[in-house]
Amino acid sequence: MNNKQKIIYITAAVLLILFVLWFIFDGVPVEAYKIIPQDAIKGVTVTGTVKSREDTLVASSIIGNIDKFYIKEGDYVKAGQLIATLVRTEQVGDVESAIGRFDTAYWELEDLLTEPRRQEVEIAKAEVDKTKQKLSILQFTIGRTRLDLQDAKIDEERYKTLEEAGAVSTRELEQKTLRKKELEKTLGETQEQIHVSMDEIKQAKENLSLTLQKIKRQQVEAAKGRMKTAMGDTEAAKARLDNYVITAPVSGIITDRILHIGDIASPTSPIVRLIVPELIYLSMQVEENELKFIKKGQDAFAVFDAYPDKVFECSVKEIVKQVNPLTGTFEVKLTRPEKKINLAVGMTVDATIITGKYKNIIIIPTDFVIQKEGKTYVFTQFGFWARKTYIKIDNFDNNRTKVISGLKKGEVILKSVERNKLKENNHIKITGDYKL
């Protein structure tokens, strides 16, 4: 082989290599999507916020500093459950002082009724009064016992919650339960004593036939008046003290603790926000052209900005057929997710309302679909070349299109990386697979 032939062969080989490299690496850069029939759901994507038909703001009826909280955000509370107490040192002192005055008046009356009498009639009258006052004392005692029993029940419920959370021992809970049972026993015994006292009054009245001497009668009446006044003062002080105890007006979830220990509470400064779970709903805004696809009872999937990694199931509860004049949208109400979740009014949420479910259909990315001069087509792969293929379609959702005819399983459709660069019969270079 002479030098001329060698040069020809080398030149041909170089040209062949260059052609192969051009064929492999040149071409219009495209993304590929392989046609695979699949089951799919069709939905309308909407945004909105958490709302409630009733947002209860719990405030105190008086002005005072917050002393202690018995709940935290996210707790479920029952109606009447203790939420917080205000600083009440002075008010507790008022109650104790009133009880002291009552005790003093009681013993004054006791002294009067136990002094020697000249006539049996005076003794009988004193016995009547004494028994009446004894009954009043028992009635007052039963009132105090009921109040103590109420506090004991609240303590027991609170310790049950704390024991379940591991914050207190079982022994401490048992002590609270024992205290409650002791008070229940005391309550029963006091009620029995009241019945006995009523019988004693009846008997004493039957024995009474004469009146006390005027001076002694006045002294007894004065002592009785002082004891009655002290009892009234005690009840009034207890009523004022109750204003310093904040309880839940309804059962629900504490979504926000607005004030903190030491803050000033008042009728116009709410302490906590309480939501009734059954009254919470998701208020979603829907465009007018999508409203026709939504029906009551349809399933929906919601994602809250506060819980971005979790999907919650809910459903369409109500469709408000009244346009919002500011946004031009309609309100669709979704049910609160059944799964336990701490929701607060005002939370933002995205949801997809399921309007249809399909099996074994072909859906493709809308970006691959070209509509021109009244015709719809896609580019399909034919070896290393792009081929125009006409299809019939139906809109599926915002970024997917349902193919009615024109494509089949296994075919690969193409989309140029640079917009509008791909033409029919173009040599192509696939840069990657498109992810739907």
Three-state helix/strand/coil letters over 275-289: ECHHHEEEEEEECHH
In a domain, 102, yes or no: yes
8 Å CB contact between 197 and 131: yes
Burial of 305 (0-12, 13-18, 19+ CB in 10 A): exposed
Alpha-carbon span 135 to 377, nearest angstrom: 98
| Domain stops at, among 275, 293, 323 | 275
User: Do 97 and 170 sit in the same domain of this protein?
Assistant: yes
Burial of 153 (0-12, 13-18, 19+ CB in 10 A): middle
> How remote is the C-alpha of 405 from its chain's centroid?
49
**Edge-first strand listing for the sheet containing 264-265:** 245-247, 82-86, 64-69, 264-265
Closest CA to 377 of 334, 424, 342: 424
Alpha-carbon span 90 to 334, nearest angstrom: 50
Mapped onto helix, strand or coil, the DSSP state of residue 60 is coil
Alpha-carbon span 402 to 368, nearest angstrom: 12
Count structural domains, the chain: 4
Domain span holding position 406: 27-39+360-433
Strands 412-416 and 28-34: antiparallel
8 Å CB contact between 156 and 82: no
> What are the tokens at 229?
């006044």
The enclosing H or E element of 84 equals strand 82-86
In a domain, 393, yes or no: yes
User: Do 106 and 252 sit in the same domain of this protein?
Assistant: no
Mapped onto helix, strand or coil, the DSSP state of residue 228 is helix
Closest CA to 241 of 98, 346, 412: 98
Alpha-carbon span 268 to 246, nearest angstrom: 14
User: Do 287 and 207 sit in the same domain of this protein?
Assistant: no
In a domain, 312, yes or no: yes
**Residue written as tokens 């947002």?**
55
Burial of 413 (0-12, 13-18, 19+ CB in 10 A): buried
Residue 93: CB partners within 8 Å, gap ≥ 6?
none
377, β-bridge pairs = 370, 390
User: Do 383 and 346 sit in the same domain of this protein?
Assistant: no
In a domain, 12, yes or no: no
User: Do 94 and 228 sit in the same domain of this protein?
Assistant: yes
8 Å CB contact between 347 and 49: yes
User: Do 224 and 145 sit in the same domain of this protein?
Assistant: yes
Q: What is the CATH number of the domain that holds 228?
A: 1.20.58
User: Do 201 and 301 sit in the same domain of this protein?
Assistant: no
Q: What is the CATH number of the domain that holds 282?
A: 2.40.30.170
Distances from the Cα of 227 to the Cαs of 38, 79, 230, 237, 344, in angstroms? 87, 36, 5, 15, 52
> What are the tokens at 123?
């003794």
> What are the tokens at 391?
């299809």
User: Do 233 and 102 sit in the same domain of this protein?
Assistant: yes
Alpha-carbon span 202 to 211, nearest angstrom: 17
In a domain, 4, yes or no: no
In a domain, 20, yes or no: no
Q: What is the CATH number of the domain that holds 390?
A: 2.40.420.20
User: Do 348 and 369 sit in the same domain of this protein?
Assistant: no
8 Å CB contact between 318 and 264: no
8 Å CB contact between 366 and 399: yes
pLDDT value at residue 12:
63
In a domain, 282, yes or no: yes
Closest CA to 381 of 405, 406, 415: 415
> How remote is the C-alpha of 229 from its chain's centroid?
47
In a domain, 352, yes or no: yes
Alpha-carbon span 231 to 332, nearest angstrom: 59
In sign, the C-alpha dihedral spanning 203, 207, 210, 215 is: negative
Q: Strand ranges (DSSP E) for 267-335?
A: 272-275, 280-286, 299-304, 307-323, 330-335
User: Do 190 and 160 sit in the same domain of this protein?
Assistant: yes
pLDDT per residue, tens digit, the chain (436 aa), is 566 666 665 666 655 555 555 555 567 888 999 999 999 888 888 999 998 887 788 888 888 888 888 888 878 888 888 888 887 666 566 666 767 777 777 777 676 666 544 455 566 667 767 777 776 777 777 777 777 878 888 888 888 888 887 778 888 888 888 888 887 888 788 778 877 777 776 766 666 544 445 446 667 777 777 777 777 776 766 666 677 788 888 888 888 888 888 888 888 889 888 888 888 899 999 998 888 889 999 999 999 998 999 999 999 999 998 888 888 899 999 999 877 777 878 889 999 999 888 899 999 999 999 998 889 999 999 988 899 999 999 888 778 899 999 999 999 999 988 888 888 888 888 888 877 6
**Residue written as tokens 């509470």?**
265
8 Å CB contact between 290 and 73: no
User: Do 338 and 382 sit in the same domain of this protein?
Assistant: no
User: Do 211 and 93 sit in the same domain of this protein?
Assistant: yes
